[in-house]
Structure 1
Amino acid sequence: MNNPIDKESLKSLAGSKFFVGAILIAILAVGIFLRAYNFSDWQHFELDQSRDAKVIDLAVENGAGDLPLLGPKAAGSFLRLGPIFYYFGYVSAKVFGNTPSGIAVISLIFSCLTLPLFYLFVRRFFSKKIGLMLLGVFAVSIFLVLYSRFSWNPNNLPFFTLATLYGLLRATDLDEKRKGWWLVGSFVALAVAMQLHFVAFLGFPVIVGAYLFLKRPSINWKYWLAAAICFVFLYTPVIINDFKTGGENVAEFEKVFIKKSTKDDHTLIEKAIRGVDEISAGYVLLLSGDSQADLPRIKVVGMRPSYICDEKCVTGLPMGIVSLIFFLLGVAALGWNIFSVKDVKRKDFLTLMAIWLVVSMGLFTPIAYDLAPRFLLLIAPVPFVLLGFMFDFFEKKKIEYLSWIFFIILIASNGWLIKNRFQELGNAPVAAFEIESDKILKENERVTLEQQLLITDYIESVYKRNNFPVYVNSEAFYRRAFLYHLEQRLIVRDDFRNTKSVYAEGNYFLIYPTSSKVEKVFENYSEKYSINEIREFGTLRAIHLIPKSEAVSAVRQEFAPERKPVSAFGVPVRCRWNEIFSQCNSDGTEAEDESVI
């Protein structure tokens, strides 16, 4: 007769290394699967991605000497970040292929590595059970999953911010035997994180500096020197570029944040309140994927506040209140733990989390009315840690069933949203449908790389019939992407908007969402062109135009050989490695305007 399994046996099994390891591997497998599934076909590839791909293409084709010394522009200014993102993309393209997907693989790898790193980070404070629960929610967060599936400089922030802070915790651990090497590793990650987004560039040196000032770890001076050398080495391209250009990039530094923080008429109080509202909404967005949370706008005139709540606010108000309550409860739990926890290692974790949260909120306050979803990547792990404090509280109060209720709700919410999102991405090339406003990637339409390449195949088939130059116009999000795809196939092409004449020998295409009316899209071209063919590719429609004979003003456009892009007039010069002993950007062409980050 079999004996029933008692509770003690179950507890022993649940606490065994084998069981914990199996659950950990299962969670990691799910997280990696969600990030890698149909990675290439469903790629998010728009104007920023095509801009970056062109920079990397140049280096792949001509050699690493054509890599730039500066990275993308920051926040709509002329200030450029460090170039490390382009170097990552170059290595990825060389290893995995010089394609949009090949360039993006390195971002996928860092995103997958973020999962085990997050678990190691939260285990500095939480139990194995809570650590696994937090990792489970982190792994299926639709926000983090979507930002893991394409190439963009902010997308790697979660890995390098966690690497910076985890290294700091290990470097200040009294029981750690390799404190010096952890310090060096932390500074390397810091130098990378600062090159990925302007707010990280401003905020993370403050976070690291404040924590080290409070802890003042006893580490051999050789390691401090090594850390400094590694940091400076990773910023060598930026230093060389500013030396060659007389400090043009540094001169742009203060303009960025001042511009964003003073371009509206909101008071500091209004911005502080709005900042808390935005962060709390981001809290629930990261944890559950819900993007409806909203709170009234507060206007302070004198000492009298007034409240504005439009229709969108009314709809999202219940979830907005819930998100604010849970965010404040998490912050309160953080404060309570700081004063009640005695263990030094756990205290260090709490101190670092408090600094991270305070500095981030301080940085977000001046730009509270201009916060984009990508800014949340700077603090992506924070909501999960605050959730962990609540789980820890429930466990201590013997009401841990509440933890499981929240856990199941969050897993189900993200799982449902990911399922729907993946269905939309799969249907995008074959079915026309409309979507609700997207608060994660700010998309108006679901458009995939697979879909873009199908349209490019169609354009190429027309081009092969006559070898006439191709002229394309589309929405700003995709115009540069289609021009990039055509360039990769060595098809003579140009932006339709640039044509000064109507050429008899030309293939003209308009590519716009299927949801838009053909008449509306075509009205600006109807005087000089006729519609030859309309092809629908799911959520996008390709309209092939032919010029009217009476409108033709020239036979064919002659294209000059392409030259390397350079900084436009008035924009600080961005040198390349092969120009450090010569004049930078010497061929005299002008670069396309770049979008903001």
Structure 2
Amino acid sequence: MKKRIISWLKNNWILVLILLVGAFLRLYKINEFMTFLGDEGRDVIVVRNLLVKADPILIGPGTSIGSMYLGPLYYYFIAPFLFLFNFSPVGPAVEIAFLGVITIFLIYKVSKEWFGETASIFSSILYAISPVVIIYSRSSWNPNIMPFFALFSIYSIWKVWKEKKYNWLIVTVISYAFVLQSHYLGLLLAPVLFIFWLISKVPVKYTLIAGSVFLFLMSPLFIFDIRHDWMNTKAFYKFLTVRQETVSIKPWKAIPNVYPIFVDINTSLLTGKNLLVGKIITPLIILSLAWFIAVRKRIKQFNKPLLVLIIWLGFALLGLALYKQHIYDHYFGFIFPALFILLGFILQFVYKTKFKILAILIFLILVFVNLKNSPILFSPNRQLQRSENVSKDIINKSLGEAFNFAVVAERNYEDGYQYFLEKENSKMVEIDPQIPE
């Protein structure tokens, strides 16, 4: 057994090194770097009530736009680590960091299986050191689980389509349920999965089993909706049909926005927020892709994994281009892996041509700009410590008397403090803001 482990480490030392670097960048002083504000406080309050009071959860976090609720899978997902860390919010953050490292491994595995070892090295290294990816891999927040489960959804439907392993359809629907319950932009992954399910001609038996599993995982949200006069369904319908200031229902209007959004995504994820490099790398990606497709067309052979990536990114860009509000980095979570796998493939393709030196140069430039802007080079925010210290100070000053707690702030930050006030069994009294007397 020992010899087999040593042999595996010798054969996979590059992967091990990449994973160690990725783990370090995500776990380094995680208790000081992790985000802990209103959303994070709200989540641990809900999960603590589940663990301490056996209070079942039927809905997840609310959306920032549209007054809708996600499903509760994320809350059940982080519950074990909150318990294992003695109800410290650091526990779920560590869990997300571990999931981030597993995502690096999955990117390496998928890239290697689809395109080759060189592509897998390029893609996994760049994913491991991407500042934006690191930031969203070291805090407990519902959108932060999207990259792993989105990639696992795509990889499992690939198994169904290409290898006819129909049992993987169950993995697909489980993974997609997590995606959909982490952020509603996960809906943009649905047409991709549907297309490959359709062309796979899955036997009815497997479809029925997978469909039943998916409905079971979505059932808490469905039960909540029944109990509350279809509140979520009505809000979603209104979001799509009434809120024209948020989403355009005219697809042709998205076309002019596709390229600028692609530049923004590449700048955020691939170039460490370096706009100049982002503007350069985007046309290079498009031209290299066109070059590869032209070569394949001449030999009448198309790369099936590349087709998956193109469809995945195509629906994502079209959907994001229809969105009229500001697009934040975490909105890209469901395509985080796709971009890095695509870039790894392109770098490998160029590397194997007479322009090998160009591929190496681009890779080194990307490594430089990402490391230069690595979040561990900046001072930690210590939001968790501040919330805990302020809460302790409030408890001390209350002198054991009952008190009401409120925060005067532009956004919702009170849950971060409230969690520790509840955890320490303070005499905080909650009042209904609608009944001030």
Identity of aligned pairs, percent?
Answer: 24
Verify: 1:454 aligned to 2:398, yes or no.
no
Q: What's the offset of the Cα at 1:381?
A: 1.6
On the 8 A contact 1:283/1:327 being kept in 2, the answer is no
Q: What's the offset of the Cα at 1:210?
A: 1.3
Other-structure match for 2:191 = 206
Unmatched runs of 5 consecutive residues or more in structure 2: 1-6
Verify: 1:409 aligned to 2:395, yes or no.
no
Counting only pairs closer than 5 Å after superposition, residues 48-197 of structure 1 correspond to structure 2 as 48-63=39-54, 66-174=55-163, 179-197=165-183
Structure with the higher strand share, 1 or 2? 1
> CA 1:423/1:168 → structure 2, altered by over 3 Å: closer, same or farther?
same
On the 8 A contact 1:164/1:185 being kept in 2, the answer is yes
Find the aligned partners of 1:338 and 1:67 in 2 and give their Cα distance: 54
Counting only pairs closer than 5 Å after superposition, residues 320-399 of structure 1 correspond to structure 2 as 321-329=279-287, 331-332=289-290, 335-336=293-294, 339=297, 347-399=303-355
Other-structure match for 1:425 = 379
> CA 1:136/1:423 → structure 2, altered by over 3 Å: closer, same or farther?
closer
Residue 364 of structure 2 aligns with an amino acid whose one-letter code is I
1:150-199 alpha-carbon deviations (Å, 9 max, x no partner): 1111100000000001111112234x6xx022222112111221111111
Verify: 1:35 aligned to 2:26, yes or no.
yes
On the 8 A contact 2:225/2:232 being kept in 1, the answer is yes
Q: What's the offset of the Cα at 1:234?
A: 0.8
SS in 1 for 2:407: strand
SS in 2 for 1:401: helix
Other-structure match for 1:216 = 200
1:317-365 alpha-carbon deviations (Å, 9 max, x no partner): x45632542353355357547746767xx83312211211121122112
Whichever of the two has the greater Rg, that structure is 1
Find the aligned partners of 2:63 and 2:241 in 1 and give their Cα distance: 13
Residue 110 of structure 1 aligns with an amino acid whose one-letter code is L
> CA 1:244/1:340 → structure 2, altered by over 3 Å: closer, same or farther?
farther
Find the aligned partners of 1:386 and 1:362 in 2 and give their Cα distance: 18
> CA 1:392/1:260 → structure 2, altered by over 3 Å: closer, same or farther?
farther
1:520-549 alpha-carbon deviations (Å, 9 max, x no partner): xxxxxxxxxxxxxxxxxxxxxxxxxxxxxx
SS in 1 for 2:31: coil
Q: What's the offset of the Cα at 1:18?
A: 5.9
Structure with the higher helix share, 1 or 2? 2
SS in 2 for 1:288: coil
> CA 1:263/1:404 → structure 2, altered by over 3 Å: closer, same or farther?
closer
TM-score (norm 2): 0.87
Find the aligned partners of 1:74 and 1:341 in 2 and give their Cα distance: 48
Q: What's the offset of the Cα at 1:265?
A: 9.9
1:475-518 alpha-carbon deviations (Å, 9 max, x no partner): 3353432233333223344xxxxxxxxxxxxxxxxxxxxxxxxx
SS in 1 for 2:12: helix
SS in 2 for 1:58: helix
> CA 1:78/1:368 → structure 2, altered by over 3 Å: closer, same or farther?
closer
> CA 1:50/1:337 → structure 2, altered by over 3 Å: closer, same or farther?
farther
SS in 2 for 1:99: coil
On the 8 A contact 1:119/1:131 being kept in 2, the answer is yes
SS in 1 for 2:68: coil
SS in 2 for 1:491: coil
Other-structure match for 1:255 = 238
> CA 1:340/1:354 → structure 2, altered by over 3 Å: closer, same or farther?
farther
> CA 1:334/1:164 → structure 2, altered by over 3 Å: closer, same or farther?
farther
> CA 1:323/1:75 → structure 2, altered by over 3 Å: closer, same or farther?
farther
Residue 33 of structure 2 aligns with an amino acid whose one-letter code is W
Please, what is the CA RMSD of the aligned residues?
Answer: 3.0
> CA 1:341/1:225 → structure 2, altered by over 3 Å: closer, same or farther?
farther
SS in 2 for 1:161: helix
1:251-293 alpha-carbon deviations (Å, 9 max, x no partner): 22222244554359999766532342122121122112125x3
Other-structure match for 1:285 = 268
Verify: 1:491 aligned to 2:417, yes or no.
no
Find the aligned partners of 1:239 and 1:190 in 2 and give their Cα distance: 16
Residue 23 of structure 2 aligns with an amino acid whose one-letter code is I
On the 8 A contact 1:75/1:256 being kept in 2, the answer is no
Find the aligned partners of 1:370 and 1:341 in 2 and give their Cα distance: 43
Residue 212 of structure 1 aligns with an amino acid whose one-letter code is W
> CA 1:331/1:241 → structure 2, altered by over 3 Å: closer, same or farther?
farther
SS in 1 for 2:29: coil
Unmatched runs of 5 consecutive residues or more in structure 1: 1-15, 294-317, 427-445, 494-558, 564-588, 592-597
Q: Report which stretch shifted further, 109-118 or 143-152.
A: 109-118
TM-score (norm 1): 0.65
> CA 1:18/1:72 → structure 2, altered by over 3 Å: closer, same or farther?
closer
1:375-416 alpha-carbon deviations (Å, 9 max, x no partner): 111211222133224313312323222222222222222222
Q: What's the offset of the Cα at 1:211?
A: 2.0
Find the aligned partners of 1:229 and 1:268 in 2 and give their Cα distance: 32
Find the aligned partners of 1:452 and 1:330 in 2 and give their Cα distance: 49
> CA 1:106/1:472 → structure 2, altered by over 3 Å: closer, same or farther?
same
SS in 2 for 1:45: coil
Q: 1:473 aligns with which of 404, 407, 415?
A: 407
> CA 1:262/1:468 → structure 2, altered by over 3 Å: closer, same or farther?
closer
Higher relative contact order (CA 8 A, sep 6+): 2
